[in-house]
Amino acid sequence: MLILIQYTVLFASILLLVALGGCFSEHSGVINLGLEGEMVMGALGGALTMKFLPDGTPAVVMVLTVMAVSLLVGMLYSSLLAFAAINLKADQTIVGTAMNMLGTALATVMVKAINISESVDNVSSEIEYVDQKKNLIVNIGKFEFSWFMLVAVIALVVSYIVLYKTRFGLRLIACGEHPQAADSVGINVYKMRWAGVLISGMLGGLGGICYITSGVSSWKFEYGVAGFGFLSLAVMIFGQWKPHRIALAALLFGLLRALSNVYAGFDFLVSLNIPSGVYNMLPYIISLAVLAFTSKNSHAPKAEGIPYDKGQR
């Protein structure tokens, strides 16, 4: 039972981080389909940091550096989306799709290049971080507490306050609802949208490193992040673009994901004889159903996906 709780919380943290990222981007008016790619790049940054930090690095320093690098790489990578979608007014769906393809391809090429340069025989795209990973985890009894759980909770609280209680957040939301109106009262829509996308890149990057360190001690970058970016998108929609609801959605979807991984350990679940694929696809089915019943009065930002052109009336 404890392992189920642990994985639920862990997966929920990942989903929460990335979905909050998506939430910031969409509230500013940019659909971020590239979350998957941003996760991969953040994960790559974090994994390389773990690989190249000297062995004797104190745990605190290491955890903080890994997080900072993931954050930064995710942010830098998301600027590709921001530049294309905001400044060049590109189609956000195409660019997002390209970002996902690019993220996995770039990470694989880089990791393979590094592995090959170390030893010609090693042509895998795998990075190992067995010892380093231990620093990310604190054992409380049998429960493996990961620092990312704390980060996710902090991100949730901060996001809520920033979005609803600060001038910046309210302006950000205004840019996603009615950019022309926001512009007319002197808000720089382009800047706000850049901010939204960059924040989503940061959170996406954090979620990425959190994902590849959850449960495993090495990662093959060929696999990207196996759809977690898209699952986070589902979480965001199920949470109706509101941070507190996103947290609940993340817990529910995290539970389903955890079940698909550990259901073999529970007799009554085994006796139900449901293949793990069902648990894996349930989140998507639930989101579709929710969408089907709520999208007539959807809470999605009104202007999302429409490039803002100052010259247009």
Partner 1 sequence: MNKKSFWKNDGVQSFIMSLVCIIIGLLIGFIALLIINPAGAFSAIGAVIKNFFNYSSSGARIKYFGNTLVQTAPLIMCSLSVLFAYKVGLFNIGVAGQYVAGACACLYAALAWNWNWFFCMLFAVAAGALLGAVSGILKAYRNVNEVISGIMLNWIALYTTNMLLSNVKEVASPYTYKLAQKGQAAILPQLGLDNIFNKNKYVGIALLIAIASAVIVWVILSKTKFGYELKATGFNKNAAKYAGMAEKKNIIVSLAISGMLAGLGASLLFQTGFEEWSCTQSSVPAMGFNGIAAAFLGGLNPIGTLFSSYFIQHITSGGAHVDKTMYSAQTSDLISAIIVYLCGFVGFFKYLMNKIVSGKKDKMVKEDVKEKAKKEAKEEVKEEASPVQDADIVEPEEGESTVFEENEALEETEGLENEEGGER
Binding site for partner 1 (CB under 8 A): 31, 33, 80, 84, 88-91, 93-95, 97-102, 104-106, 108-109, 112-113, 116-117, 120, 123, 125, 222-224, 226-227, 230-231, 233-234, 237, 275, 277-278, 280-281, 284-285, 287-288, 291-293, 295-296, 298, 306-307, 309, 312
In angstroms, give the least distance from the CB of 253 to partner 1: 12
When the beta carbons of 196 and 307 are compared against partner 1, the nearer one is 307
Spatial separation of the C-alpha atoms in residues 225 and 274, rounded to whole Å: 24
In angstroms, give the least distance from the CB of 101 to partner 1: 4
DSSP string, the chain: -HHHHHHHHHHHHHHHHHHHHHHHHHHHT---TTHHHHHHHHHHHHHHHHHHS-TT--HHHHHHHHHHHHHHHHHHHHHHHHIIIIIS---HHHHHHHHHHHHHHHHHHHHHHHHHHH-TT----EEE-HHHHHTTEEEETTEEEEHHHHHHHHHHHHHHHHHHHSHHHHHHHHHHH-HHHHHHTT--HHHHHHHHHHHHHHHHHHHHHHHHTSS-SEEEGGGTTTTHHHHHHHHHHHTTT-HHHHHHHHHHHHHHHHHHHHGGG-HHHHHHT--HHHHHHHHHHHHHHHHHHHGGG--S-TTTTPPP-TT--
In angstroms, give the least distance from the CB of 305 to partner 1: 9
In angstroms, give the least distance from the CB of 213 to partner 1: 17
In angstroms, give the least distance from the CB of 169 to partner 1: 24
Please say whether the beta carbons of 77 and 16 come within 8 A: no
Query: Shortest CA distance to 209 belongs to which of 95, 108, 63, 100?
Result: 63
**Total residues belonging to the chain:** 313
When the beta carbons of 57 and 97 are compared against partner 1, the nearer one is 97
When the beta carbons of 29 and 155 are compared against partner 1, the nearer one is 29
In angstroms, give the least distance from the CB of 286 to partner 1: 9
When the beta carbons of 132 and 287 are compared against partner 1, the nearer one is 287
Spatial separation of the C-alpha atoms in residues 39 and 49, rounded to whole Å: 15
When the beta carbons of 161 and 216 are compared against partner 1, the nearer one is 216
When the beta carbons of 141 and 277 are compared against partner 1, the nearer one is 277
Whose tokens are 């001038």? That residue is: 167
In angstroms, give the least distance from the CB of 63 to partner 1: 28
In angstroms, give the least distance from the CB of 104 to partner 1: 7
When the beta carbons of 190 and 230 are compared against partner 1, the nearer one is 230
When the beta carbons of 243 and 307 are compared against partner 1, the nearer one is 307
